[in-house]
């Protein structure tokens, strides 16, 4: 076994490999770009070498610089992780020529499986079932049109050298083939430098089931069971699970044995994943492709087998035999992995950038695991994949594991940028997903509903939102009450006054829609409020304990887990995630007397009013800067600012009282 390992990658997979190497007593070397100088993987490794500018083409994709770093530090092996150079035949060859062990398969195996057309031809020759299709060299429109007609529409155009959904087009009619082919070729050439296309029969509602295989240099090969990756968007996996639900044991065994045969047909070595399309209706499965590396979703296999696949990789790369034979491998329980990304579901899942100003995660234990490469305060930059973490859970069966997944997602709280956490929760809570009845097109077909489930703004949702905001405001004001006696009636913010209950006014953004919630305490009923939204009222009662909201709406009891970043708030219920934002124009405050609190960490840019001077409703009071954006806080009513608790240039924390406001009392007629 080599005593020093260089990890030619970054982020969570680099941290993941370092963790296993350290446990095995292997020293580690990280590489980093200028953008990753202070990254988590750099600090986790024993040594770190700078390899270039932020752009991956000038750093993580420069194989010669990585090999030079290995030579400088005396690393005997290089683990490529996934992505970047993990499936690059030239890099694998270069490592071998430099006398450095490449922790992966031989270059020949990478070459065959790196080309979809070569891979399909090889599988056909080996008797592996593949989808009907054309994998030839003649790329003329006439030939491809003839082959598509013979296969039968709909067909799928796929880039032979591609992956990740690039260079793919669905074609339903012969008259659409030419334009679809031109677009797919352009995309493939731009992404991979190769516009060679395949034409395959398109299964309309297949499942994506893949098998984890391992081979050593002594002729041994095993499969570590299967994973279901059918929850996809634009051919990108979202939630993976192991084992695949609703499969017979005969199918599982047939898939596993076929996957091992596919790997051995190309003299494979190390970890690999053979991906199949499975037709529920016919019970048939077809080879799709083989990934010649460790997969992003490998933790779910580790959770159900109790094996460390990175350790297996290192042992096989060092020339050892596989740790276990097929008959010795056992699976136990069920596991899910959810990929948490910095992206905005409301904007077509565009990647989000920014600083993780707040990061609170579920507690890790035997049932919950988090693989990540970032910490609170780190920046998600535009240079690399915007993955924040992989959340992995395990349960004794699928139902238990799914409950743990939803619970863990509700406890994952991030502020500073948009994430897909609420979307993941909604998918995990979806009825079809719960039943294990999801196919590869399910998310796309139901995408609008999955994204918009936290935008219903129905009676229950606005009642929960109003209840939480009112209870949280009361708690905040009580904590900031003047004097030592926090229970003095003069310091409490319980909405009581001689003239009757004083309402709260909350200005919200509900996915770009401006909304006003008026919340008024019901006299003589502690914890009971009347919530009015755009003229429609509903009564709600409940309490707030830590991050748990307990509510009764029209006789229906609810419990919600609250994730409050200061500006963005998500209420996780059993059915879905309800997300809204305190408006940048008028954040949480009381319409009568009380304090304005900062909704997030930021800097006071400007004070726009004077203490004691009258102001009109809507007049600007101060400007707060957060996440490079300025937000103006306005007067909620005619009145005056009693006092400011901040000045221009001050840094303020989320929840900090910025000013005290007093509304003008209206004469009663």
Q: What are phi and psi of 97, to 5 degrees?
A: -65, -30
Q: How far is CA 599 from CA 291, 413, 508, in A?
A: 45, 15, 12
Higher pLDDT, 278 or 525: 278
The 10s digit of each residue's pLDDT in 432-483 is 999 999 999 999 999 988 887 755 567 888 889 999 998 988 887 666 554 4
Q: Which is it for strands 548-553 and 536-545: parallel, antiparallel or unpaired?
A: antiparallel
pLDDT at 651: 82
* Residues near 341 by beta carbon (within 8 Å), at least 6 away in sequence: 349, 351, 386, 387, 388, 419, 420
Burial 379-393 (b: 16+ CB within 10 A, else e): ebeebbebbbbbbbb
pLDDT category of residue 360 using cuts at 50, 70 and 90: confident
Q: How far is CA 88 from CA 107, 429, 447, 598, in A?
A: 8, 39, 34, 50
For the range 54-59, what are the long-range contacts, defined as Cβ-Cβ under 8 Å and sequence gap of 24 or more?
Answer: 54/381, 54/383, 55/383, 56/84, 56/383, 56/384, 58/33, 59/31, 59/32, 59/33, 59/34
* 186 sits in which H/E element: helix 177-192
pLDDT category of residue 583 using cuts at 50, 70 and 90: low
DSSP SS3 for 359: strand
pLDDT at 390: 98
The 10s digit of each residue's pLDDT in 591-637 is 444 567 776 567 888 999 999 999 998 888 988 775 445 667 888 88
Question: 239: which 2 tokens?
Answer: 């939630």
Distance between CA 387 and CA 406 in Å, rounded?
Answer: 19
Q: Which of the 8 DSSP states describes residue 559?
A: E
Distance between CA 173 and CA 154 in Å, rounded?
Answer: 7
Q: Phi-psi category of 605—alpha, beta or left, where left has phi over 0 and alpha has psi -120 to 50?
A: alpha
pLDDT at 510: 72
pLDDT at 668: 45
CB 167 within 8 A of CB 188: yes
Cα-to-chain-centroid distance, residue 434:
19
Q: How far is CA 400 from CA 173, 334, 446, 561, in A?
A: 44, 8, 25, 18
pLDDT at 591: 40
On the question of pLDDT at 654 being above 90, the answer is no
State the angle between helix axes of 309-317 and 11-23 in degrees (0 to 180), rounded to the nearest 10: 70
Determine the average pLDDT of the residues in 491-504: 54
pLDDT category of residue 587 using cuts at 50, 70 and 90: very low
Neighbour tally for 182: CB within 10 Å: 13
* 286 sits in which H/E element: strand 284-291
Distance between CA 522 and CA 529 in Å, rounded?
Answer: 5
pLDDT at 454: 54
On the question of pLDDT at 493 being above 60, the answer is no
On the question of pLDDT at 385 being above 50, the answer is yes
The 10s digit of each residue's pLDDT in 230-289 is 999 888 899 999 999 999 999 999 999 999 999 999 999 999 999 999 998 889 999 989
Distance between CA 233 and CA 447 in Å, rounded?
Answer: 8
pLDDT winner (highest mean) among 306-310, 544-548, 650-654: 306-310
Question: 510: which 2 tokens?
Answer: 């509900």
When the pLDDT of each residue in the chain is averaged and rounded to a whole number, the result is 88
Tokens 């905005």 correspond to: 344
pLDDT at 455: 54
pLDDT at 589: 41
Q: Which of the 8 DSSP states describes residue 175?
A: G
Question: 165: which 2 tokens?
Answer: 């959904």
pLDDT at 580: 81
pLDDT category of residue 192 using cuts at 50, 70 and 90: confident
Q: Which residues pair with 369 in a beta bridge?
A: 392
Distance between CA 452 and CA 576 in Å, rounded?
Answer: 10
Higher pLDDT, 58 or 349: 58
pLDDT at 387: 94
pLDDT at 459: 82
* Residues near 270 by beta carbon (within 8 Å), at least 6 away in sequence: 103, 104, 105, 214, 215, 313, 316, 317
* Residues near 496 by beta carbon (within 8 Å), at least 6 away in sequence: 502, 521
* Lowest mean pLDDT, pick from 5-19, 64-78, 190-204, 604-618: 190-204
- What percent of the chain lies above the pLDDT cut of 90? 58
Q: Phi-psi category of 622—alpha, beta or left, where left has phi over 0 and alpha has psi -120 to 50?
A: beta
Closest C-alpha to 661, from 588, 605, 555, 603: 588
Distance between CA 55 and CA 49 in Å, rounded?
Answer: 16
Closest C-alpha to 287, from 308, 260, 307: 260
pLDDT at 627: 45
Closest C-alpha to 159, from 167, 149, 148: 167
pLDDT at 505: 79
Distance between CA 411 and CA 573 in Å, rounded?
Answer: 12
pLDDT category of residue 664 using cuts at 50, 70 and 90: confident
- What percent of the chain lies above the pLDDT cut of 70? 89
Higher pLDDT, 588 or 118: 118
Question: 95: which 2 tokens?
Answer: 């490592």
Q: What are phi and psi of 126, to 5 degrees?
A: -95, 5
pLDDT category of residue 309 using cuts at 50, 70 and 90: very high
CB 595 within 8 A of CB 475: no
Distance between CA 163 and CA 191 in Å, rounded?
Answer: 9
Which ranges in 265-365 belong to alpha helices (H)?
298-305, 309-317
Determine the average pLDDT of the residues in 360-367: 94
Q: Which is it for strands 620-626 and 602-607: parallel, antiparallel or unpaired?
A: antiparallel
Distance between CA 422 and CA 453 in Å, rounded?
Answer: 9
Question: 375: which 2 tokens?
Answer: 């910490």
Distance between CA 392 and CA 409 in Å, rounded?
Answer: 10
Question: Can you list the domains of the chain with their CATH numbers?
Answer: 4-103 (3.40.50.20), 106-131+205-332 (3.30.470.20), 132-201 (3.30.1490.20), 333-455 (3.30.470.20), 456-663 (2.40.50.100)
pLDDT at 47: 97
pLDDT at 188: 85
On the question of pLDDT at 572 being above 50, the answer is yes
pLDDT category of residue 512 using cuts at 50, 70 and 90: low
pLDDT at 439: 93
Closest C-alpha to 464, from 577, 556, 540: 540
Closest C-alpha to 587, from 604, 561, 568: 568
Distance between CA 494 and CA 650 in Å, rounded?
Answer: 30
| Angle (CA) 317 320 321, round 5° | 115
pLDDT category of residue 95 using cuts at 50, 70 and 90: very high
pLDDT at 417: 85
Higher pLDDT, 581 or 310: 310
* Residues near 330 by beta carbon (within 8 Å), at least 6 away in sequence: 305, 306
Question: 40: which 2 tokens?
Answer: 């988590």
CB 418 within 8 A of CB 342: yes
Q: List the catalytic residues.
A: 293
Q: What is the dihedral of CA 161, 162, 167, 169, to 10 degrees?
A: 100
Question: 177: which 2 tokens?
Answer: 């083939």
pLDDT at 499: 45
Closest C-alpha to 239, from 338, 368, 334, 165: 338
pTM of the entire predicted model:
0.74
């Amino acid at each position: 076994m080599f005593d020093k390992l260089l990890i030619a990658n970054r982020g969570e997979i680099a941290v993941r490999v370092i963790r296993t190497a350290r446990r095995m007593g292997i020293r580690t070397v990280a590489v980093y770009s200028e953008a990753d100088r202070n990254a988590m993987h750099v600090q986790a490794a024993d040594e770190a070498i700078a390899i270039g500018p932020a752009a991956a083409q000038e750093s993580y994709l420069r194989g010669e610089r990585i090999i030079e770093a290995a030579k400088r530090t005396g690393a005997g092996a290089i683990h490529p992780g996934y992505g970047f150079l993990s499936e690059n035949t030239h890099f694998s060859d270069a490592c071998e020529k430099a006398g450095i062990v490449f922790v992966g398969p031989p270059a020949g195996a990478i070459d065959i499986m790196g080309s979809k057309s070569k891979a399909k031809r090889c599988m056909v020759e080996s008797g592996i079932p593949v989808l009907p299709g054309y994998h030839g060299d003649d790329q003329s429109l006439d030939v491809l049109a003839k082959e598509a007609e013979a296969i039968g529409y709909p067909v799928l155009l796929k880039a032979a050298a591609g992956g990740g959904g690039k260079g793919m087009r669905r074609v339903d009619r012969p008259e659409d083939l030419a334009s679809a082919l031109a677009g797919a070729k352009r995309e493939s050439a731009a992404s991979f430098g190769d516009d060679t296309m395949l034409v395959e029969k398109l299964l309309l509602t297949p499942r994506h089931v893949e098998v984890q295989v391992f081979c050593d240099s002594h002729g041994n090969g095993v499969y570590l069971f299967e994973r279901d990756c059918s929850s996809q968007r634009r051919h990108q996996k979202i939630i993976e699970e192991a084992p695949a639900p609703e499969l017979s044991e005969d199918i599982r065994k047939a898939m596993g044995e076929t996957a091992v045969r596919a790997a051995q047909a190309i003299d494979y070595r190390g970890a690999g994943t053979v991906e199949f399309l499975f037709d529920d209706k016919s019970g048939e499965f077809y080879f799709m492709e083989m990934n010649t590396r460790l997969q992003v979703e490998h933790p779910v296999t580790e959770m159900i087998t109790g094996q460390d696949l990175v350790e297996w990789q290192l042992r096989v790369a060092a020339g050892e035999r596989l740790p276990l034979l097929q008959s010795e491998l056992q699976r136990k329980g069920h596991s899910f992995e959810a990929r948490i990304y910095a992206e905005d579901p409301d904007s077509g899942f565009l990647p989000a950038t920014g600083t993780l100003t707040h990061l609170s995660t579920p507690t890790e234990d035997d049932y919950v695991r988090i693989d990540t490469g970032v910490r609170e305060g780190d920046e998600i930059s535009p240079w690399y994949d915007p993955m924040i973490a992989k959340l992995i859970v395990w349960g004794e069966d699928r139902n238990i594991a799914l409950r743990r997944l939803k619970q863990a997602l509700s406890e994952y709280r991030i502020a500073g940028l948009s994430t897909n956490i609420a979307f993941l929760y909604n998918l995990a809570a979806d009825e079809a997903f719960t039943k294990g009845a999801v196919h590869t097109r399910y998310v796309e077909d139901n995408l609008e509903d999955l994204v918009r489930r936290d935008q219903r703004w129905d009676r229950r949702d606005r009642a929960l939102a109003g209840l939480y905001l009112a209870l949280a405001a009361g708690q905040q004001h009580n904590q900031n009450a003047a004097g030592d006696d926090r229970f003095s009636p003069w310091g409490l913010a319980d909405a009581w006054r001689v003239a009757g209950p004083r309402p709260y006014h909350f200005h919200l953004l509900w996915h770009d829609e401006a909304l006003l919630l008026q919340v008024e305490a019901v006299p003589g009923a502690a914890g009971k409020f009347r919530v009015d939204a755009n003229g429609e009222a509903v009564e709600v009662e409940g309490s707030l304990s830590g991050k748990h909201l307990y509510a009764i709406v029209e006789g229906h009891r609810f419990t919600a887990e609250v994730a409050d970043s200061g500006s963005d708030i998500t209420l996780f219920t059993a059915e879905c995630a309800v997300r809204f934002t305190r408006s940048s124009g008028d954040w949480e405050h009381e319409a009568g007397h009380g304090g304005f609190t900062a909704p997030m960490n930021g800097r006071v840019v400007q004070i726009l009013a004077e203490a004691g001077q009258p102001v009109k409703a809507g007049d600007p009071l101060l400007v707060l800067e957060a996440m490079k954006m300025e937000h103006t806080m306005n007067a909620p009513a005619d009145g005056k600012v009693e006092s400011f608790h901040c000045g221009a240039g001050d840094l303020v924390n989320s929840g900090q009282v910025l000013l005290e406001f007093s509304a003008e009392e209206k004469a009663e007629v």
